[in-house]
Amino acid sequence: MTGRCPASLLEPGQFVVLGVGTSALSVARAIPSDFRGTVATNSLLVAIELSNHPNVVVHAAGGRLRGGDMALSNSNAQNFFRDLHGLITDSEPPATIREALEKSGGVTIIA
């Protein structure tokens, strides 16, 4: 399983950003049930997968729902990552959600 290795690196209390796609979903599925932390995502599939983890706080982006990968996108999702706990410090909104994720500081971006 692709997600086991990244999930094994998680530490208690960590703030993690998971994007969209099969790798992100694999990581979410591999997160141990006793993990305590926070996950931010723009993937409904990841959010649903983690909804049964009692010690994981899940923050899901808003925005337009894309079919297929069940990703939330557009400026609402971009702003979510920019504004969430001050992750993005630039005053200009990021051009893409991926850019917002890559500019995040103080978090672990797994997939």
Q: What is the mean pLDDT of residues 61-90?
A: 76
Strand partners, 43: 71
Per-residue model confidence (pLDDT) at position 74: 84
Q: Which range has highest mean pLDDT (37-46, 74-83, 85-94, 95-104)?
A: 37-46
pLDDT band at 100 (very low <50, low <70, confident <90, very high): low
**Please, what is the average pLDDT of the chain?**
79
What gap in Å lies between CA 30 and CA 7, rounded to an integer?
6
* Number of domains, the chain: 1
Q: pLDDT digits over 43-62, tens only?
A: 999 999 999 999 999 989 98
Q: Which residues lie closer than 8 Å to 17 by C-beta, 6 or more apart?
A: 39, 40, 41, 81, 87, 101, 104, 107, 108, 109, 110
Using CA atoms, how far apart are residues 56 and 87, in angstroms rounded to an integer? 19
**Average pLDDT value for residue range 83-99:** 51
* Local structure of residue 81 (DSSP, 8 states): H
The domain in which residue 55 lies consists of: 4-109
**Greatest mean pLDDT range, 39-48, 62-71, 81-90:** 39-48
The confidence band for 96, taking pLDDT boundaries of 50, 70 and 90, is low
